[in-house]
Structure formats: C-alpha cells, structure tokens
C-alpha cells in the first residue's frame, strides 16, 4: 500500500473522528445533560471516558502521522484507529439499550471506514472484532459477565427511557441481525472499495500514459528544427513550439494569445485571403528579427477539429536567410567572374592599341621635330595613354586572382592604425571616428589585403555621413572567428542598392569608381570570410559586418597554431 495514500486517508478519518467526538461532547452538555445526571458514577465515567479516549486518539494520531512515513507503522496505526472506533461504539451501545441500541450503526460506520482505508482485510477484521464486542454486550445483558456489568447495562437504558432486552430469546434476534449486517457490510463495502481502488489505479495508469504521450508530443514539437505555430479562428496564437520562440527571440508567455499579424505583419493578408484559406500552400516572407533581415519559408495548412470543420491554421516556418544569402553570393560570384573574364579580355585588347598609339606619337614627335602647341598636344596624348594603361593594369590586378601572403595578423591593431591615419585625413575632419575592441583579434591572413578591407569600409562610411557624423569601427574576437563592424549614422542604403554594393563599377557617389567595396568583397572571399550590409538602428545609417575565420584559408590550421 502506498504510504502517502494511507497517510492522507488516515488524516481525513482523524478529522472526521474528532468532529464526531466534539458533537457527542456537546450533546452530553447541552442535549442529554439531564439524562446523564441519572446515570450511576460508572455510567458517567464510561460516557466521558469514551469521548475523551476518542479525542485523545485523534490528537495522538495527528502527531504520529506527521512523524511516521513507513507503511508498517501507518498500518499498525490504522488498526489502532478502528479498534478505538469499535470500543467507542461499544461504550455508547452499552449505555443505550445494548444489542438493540440505535448506536449499533456506529459499528457499521467503522467497518465502512476500515474498508476504505484497509480494504477487505481491514473490513473483515473489524467485522469480527465488532462481533466479539457486541457478543460481550449481549453476554452482559444475560448476566453472564457479572452483576456490575449487568447493572451498568440496565442503568444506561434510562438515557432513552426504555427497558433493555432480557434473556436469550429477546437478545438473540437482534444479535444475529447485527452480526449478519457486520459481515454483509464488510464484504459489500470492501468490494466497492476494491473496485474503486482498481478504477483509481486504472485512471492513474491512463493519466500516466496520457502524460507520457503529452510529453512525447511536446518533445517532438520542441525538437523540430522548424518553427511551429497554431492559430485559432480569431488569428491568435494558440500554441508555439520552443524553436519558434528561439527564432523570434521571445518567450512563450509573450507570444501566446497575440494576433499573428502583430508578430508576422506579412502573414495577416495571407491568412485573410479567401482563395488560400481552405487549402495548404507555401509562402515566403521577409521579417526583421533582432535588427536583422530574415527570410522565412512558410507551409500553411488548415487546422480542423474532430468534426472536420476548420478551427484555425497550422503555420510551419523555417529560416532560409542563409540559403538566400548563399544564392545571392553565388549569383554575385558568377556575375563577377563573368564580368572579370570579359573585362580582362577587353583590357588586354585595349592595351595593345594603346601601346602602339603611344609609340607612334613619340616617333612622330621625334621625327617631325615639332614644338610649341603641337608638342604639348602630343605630350598630352602620351601622358593620358600612360594614365589609361596604368588604370587598366590596376583593373587587371583586381580581376585576376593573386596569391595570398599568409601571416599572423592582429585585425584589431590594423583597425586602430587605420582609424588613426584617417583621423588626420582632410576627408574626415568633420567626422567623429570611434574605435572599440573586445576579445582576441589575431588571425591568419594577408596583412595588406585586410588593411585594405578596413580602409575601404571606413573611408566609405566617412564619405557616407554628413558633417558632424559618427563612424564606429569595432573588432570582436570569437572562438573561431574575428568580427569587424563598421557603422555610420548616415542616410543608409536602400534594399535594392544593398544587393549590388559589392558589384564592380556600381556606385551611388558622383566621383566613385565602384571598385572599393568590390575589392573588399574579393579580399574577404579569398580569406573565406563573409560580409553583411545591415541597417545600423532606429536612427538610420548602415552597418557592415565582416566575419573572418581565424584559421588558414584552406582550414588546415587550428586556432592554437594561428595565434602562436
């Protein structure tokens, strides 16, 4: 038997007994006080002793129940309880007519209590014990236990102004009926108690199975790599799994009950569309999460009740931002590669005629021996030809891959040097330059190219802000990578322009060549790094986030080797 269950039952029965004892005590003082006075001294002592004994049993039992927790002690205490109930009932029966007393129902009540707590074994035990006690009362009535007991039984009948039965013929029928009632109630109540216990055990098993299924259901939904949301008919969130909360950087309490359009503005029109309301379909939306533009792929299905009617929606979504970025990077790389090949061929074809033109002009100048304005014109042609040839050489250097010079580089130190140099540049005289560092900035890479990355990004930010603008350059060291952030509070970049800023010759500046950010992108690709263009915050501006791995570009060196 479960000790906790047995202890709880005994606590309830102790409270019930205490209430019964108090009721009888009040009755002796206010209800039958006059009748009590006619009792002999032994009768009064029996009445008050029985009530006092029952109350004392309740108090002692309450104290022991707080201390005893093992089933053997609790079982013994339960038997003491029911023996006390039987003795209390016997005392009342003795003073109220013997075997014909109306208080013989207390025996039956005690048997029912025993069947509830101890089931069949306890009920049968108490039925047999009650039989012995009631038989003793009958023996006293027939003067078989001595004159004092007989006098006490006769004295007690004055409580009800009736005469107790005398002789075997008057006592045996009542005794037989009570004994049969004891055992009948014992078997019937214990049977019902056993059935109740079996039903309770079965209910607990079903509850445990249901809880196990619920836990399994929760585990499955929580283990999904995708976000899952169920929406009711009012378009409010009824359920959201752990992954969805993580993706939205919110808690379940913050999201439950909110309208789905408040969380995902683009989903409101989709769910309101009558053409899509009753069938499954796929959608792609753009969501700002944690200040970062996020692409979400949705699978939307109707949620139906047990009767088949639609009661809401099931929204399954996952983050495809990285896939979109990779697609954009592949597309950009393909465009750059094609453009580079074409530009290299065009530049190669231009350089040969330029060389011929420059040589021809120089020969003409020497052979014709010209001077004055004609000589100056020829010098201008030669000079501009050399300038164009130099520009083409620089472009070919950009378009053709070059070998990376690998060495240990402190990106934080490079950033500090660039900020210091730009602070003395006339283009940054009206701009506030700030520099921050956290963590280790050491990595393996090409110092010149990484310096070029920092320089181009910082200079681009300086040119983007207006007077009294702020440019912040910060370096943060991670476990296996270093992050460079260049942030400004300028007018910002539109979404369409942000997709093209790393293309060669694309520029929004009047005097720009469009090679600065393209060079940054190319240098980072060679270092197996990445770059993102993000909004700087609510105040506007742009933030470039560069991530460069610490290890070698081909991934053959670990962090320890990189920083030694």
Q: For residue range 216-271, what is the model confidence (pLDDT) as tens digits?
A: 777 777 777 788 888 888 889 888 888 888 888 888 888 888 888 888 888 878 88
The answer to whether 89 and 106 are in contact (CB under 8 A) is yes
Q: Which of 15-19, 208-212, 532-536 has the lowest mean pLDDT?
A: 15-19
**Residue 272 class from Cβ within 10 Å (0-12 exposed, 13-18 middle, 19+ buried)?**
exposed
Q: For residue range 58-78, what is the model confidence (pLDDT) as tens digits?
A: 777 767 766 777 677 777 878
Q: How far apart are CA 52 and CA 85, in angstroms?
A: 12
CA 521 to centroid of chain Cα atoms? 39
Q: How much is the pLDDT for 414? A: 92
Q: How much is the pLDDT for 170? A: 64
Of 538 and 321, the one with more pLDDT: 321
Of 173 and 4, the one with more pLDDT: 173
Please give the torsion angle defined by the CA atoms of residues 105, 110, 111 and 117, in that order, rounded to the nearest 10 degrees: 150
Which of 168-172, 268-272, 555-559 has the highest average model confidence (pLDDT)? 268-272
Q: How much is the pLDDT for 557? A: 40
Task: Decide if pLDDT at 343 tops 80.
Answer: no
Q: How far apart are CA 260 and CA 233, in angstroms?
A: 11
The answer to whether 75 and 1 are in contact (CB under 8 A) is yes
The answer to whether 363 and 355 are in contact (CB under 8 A) is no
Q: How much is the pLDDT for 220? A: 76
Its pTM stands at 0.41
Q: Which of 143-147, 198-202, 213-217, 413-417 has the lowest mean pLDDT?
A: 143-147
DSSP string of 19-66, one letter each residue: HHHHHHHHIIIIISHHHHHTS-HHHHHHHHHHHHHHHHHHHHHHHHHH
Q: Is 109 helix (H, G, I), strand (E, B) or coil?
A: helix
Average pLDDT, the chain: 77
Q: How far apart are CA 332 and CA 472, in angstroms?
A: 28
Neighbouring CB atoms inside 10 A of 61's CB total 21
């Amino acid at each position: 038997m479960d000790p906790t269950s047995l202890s709880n039952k005994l606590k309830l029965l102790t409270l019930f007994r205490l209430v019964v004892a108090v009721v009888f005590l009040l009755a002796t003082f206010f209800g039958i006080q006059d009748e009590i006075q006619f009792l002999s001294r032994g009768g009064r002592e029996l009445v008050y002793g029985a009530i006092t004994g029952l109350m004392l049993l309740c108090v002692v039992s309450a104290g022991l129940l707080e201390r005893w927790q093992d089933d053997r002690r609790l079982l013994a205490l339960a038997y003491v309880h029911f023996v006390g109930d039987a003795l209390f009932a016997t005392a009342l029966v003795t003073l109220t007519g013997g075997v014909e007393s109306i208080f013989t129902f207390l025996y039956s009540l005690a048997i029912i209590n025993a069947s509830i707590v101890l089931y069949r074994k306890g009920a049968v035990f108490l039925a047999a014990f009650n039989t012995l006690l009631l038989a003793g009362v009958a023996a006293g009535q027939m003067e078989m236990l001595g004159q004092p007991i007989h006098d006490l039984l006769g004295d007690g009948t004055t409580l009800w102004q009736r005469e107790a039965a005398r002789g075997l013929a008057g006592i045996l029928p009542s005794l037989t009926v009570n004994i049969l009632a004891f055992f009948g109630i014992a078997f019937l109540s214990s049977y019902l108690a056993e059935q109740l216990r079996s039903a309770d055990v079965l209910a607990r098993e079903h509850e445990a199975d249901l809880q196990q299924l619920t836990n399994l259901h929760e585990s499955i939904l929580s283990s999904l790599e995708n976000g899952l949301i169920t929406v009711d008919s009012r378009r409010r969130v009824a359920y959201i799994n752990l992954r969805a909360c993580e993706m939205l950087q919110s808690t379940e309490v913050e999201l439950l009950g909110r309208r789905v359009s408040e969380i995902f503005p683009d989903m409101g029109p989709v769910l309101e569309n009558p053409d899509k309301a009753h069938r499954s379909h796929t959608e792609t939306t753009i969501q700002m999460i944690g200040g970062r533009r996020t692409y979400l792929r949705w699978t939307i299905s109707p949620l139906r009740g047990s009767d088949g009617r639609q009661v809401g929606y099931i929204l399954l979504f996952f983050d495809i931002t990285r896939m979109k970025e990779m697609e954009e990077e592949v597309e950009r790389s393909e465009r750059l590669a094609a453009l580079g090949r074409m530009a290299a061929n065009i530049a190669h074809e231009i350089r040969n005629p330029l060389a011929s033109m420059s040589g021809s002009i120089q020969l003409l100048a020497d052979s014709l021996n010209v001077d004055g304005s004609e000589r100056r014109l020829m010098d201008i042609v030669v000079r501009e030809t050399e300038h164009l040839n130099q520009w083409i050489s620089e472009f070919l250097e950009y378009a053709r891959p070059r070998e990376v010079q690998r060495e240990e580089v402190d990106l934080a130190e490079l950033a500090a040097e660039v900020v210091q140099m730009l602070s003395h540049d006339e283009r940054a005289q009206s701009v506030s330059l700030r520099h921050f560092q956290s963590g280790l900035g050491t990595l393996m890479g090409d110092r010149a190219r990484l310096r070029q990355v920092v320089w181009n990004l910082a200079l681009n930010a300086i040119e983007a802000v207006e007077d009294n603008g702020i440019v912040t350059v910060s370096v943060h060291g991670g476990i296996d990578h270093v992050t460079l952030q260049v942030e400004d509070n300028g007018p910002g970049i539109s979404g369409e322009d942000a997709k093209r800023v790393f293309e060669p010759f694309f520029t929004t500046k009047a005097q720009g060549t469009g090679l600065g950010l393209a060079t940054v992108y190319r240098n980072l690709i060679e270092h197996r790094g990445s770059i993102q263009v993000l909004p700087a915050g609510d105040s506007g501006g742009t933030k470039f986030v560069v991530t460069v791995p610490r290890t070698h570009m081909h991934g053959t060196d670990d962090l320890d080797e990189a920083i030694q």
